[in-house]
Structure 1
Amino acid sequence: MAVSVAGSGYAGDAGAAKQSANIISYADALQWLLALVVVLGLFGSLIWLLRKSGGLSLAGKGQLSVISGLSVGVREKLVLVKVGEKQLLLGVTPGRIDKLLELEGDARLFQNQENPQVNGLFAQKLQQVLQGKSDV
């Protein structure tokens, strides 16, 4: 009889240890949840930074780039875009984008400059091109 009591006591301790090993406490669940929130927050902030900085462009360097832009209204813009060896003057509105002018060869703007002065020079050359006095 003593053997059965000792054996039953031993079996009860093993069962209690096995049962407590399978139970996840609230502290563990809270710690995992907090770690998940931190990781997702870091991931979201990294995505936001990449979107704001314009990083991770998949296009080849120099094949497509915005050279300059000029606001002509509250929601309207003129944008000069370089596509390969051509330049396109685009009219951009909230509802559509229209190609206004295509410049090739010697008619291209900002040929010898890497960083054009947008405000004065772009506006002057744009006026010349639109008025037909293109001596660029």
Structure 2
Amino acid sequence: MEPISLEAALASFTERWSPRIVTTVNDYDVRVAKVEGEHVWHVHDHTDEFFLVLGGELHLALREPAGERTVVLPKGSVFTVPRGTEHKPYAPVPAEILVFEPTGTLSVGDRHDEVPAHVDTTTGHALT
């Protein structure tokens, strides 16, 4: 086990919306991803989803009981989407994020809209 440079991990791939697993903590994956444009409306029925913005800016559209709203996360910000909350990440410019969620969690959740071609449906890829 050696330290992992997030900068090097992010430099090791170019694909957008295609997370890489940098490490695991108990039964959770720590994933990094490059993002740009829209993801897909989706929901994780059984788990929260933690976001940390490493670079750029991430917008999270949320559909909550009180209505729809958008949370804007600049670099260095964190936000947790509660389980069962429908959400749609969007990055107006290229950004890098770190996501913390249970191992095996699909990037498009348990329920989702049609997945566009630029979004990778995955439980995370190993770093190469």
Structure number with the higher helix fraction is: 1
- Please confirm whether the aligned pair reaches a TM-score higher than 0.5, indicating the same fold: no
Work out which structure has the larger RCO, using CA pairs closer than 8 Å and 6 or more positions apart in sequence. 2
TM-score, normalising length: structure 1: 0.22
TM-score, normalising length: structure 2: 0.23
Larger radius of gyration: 1
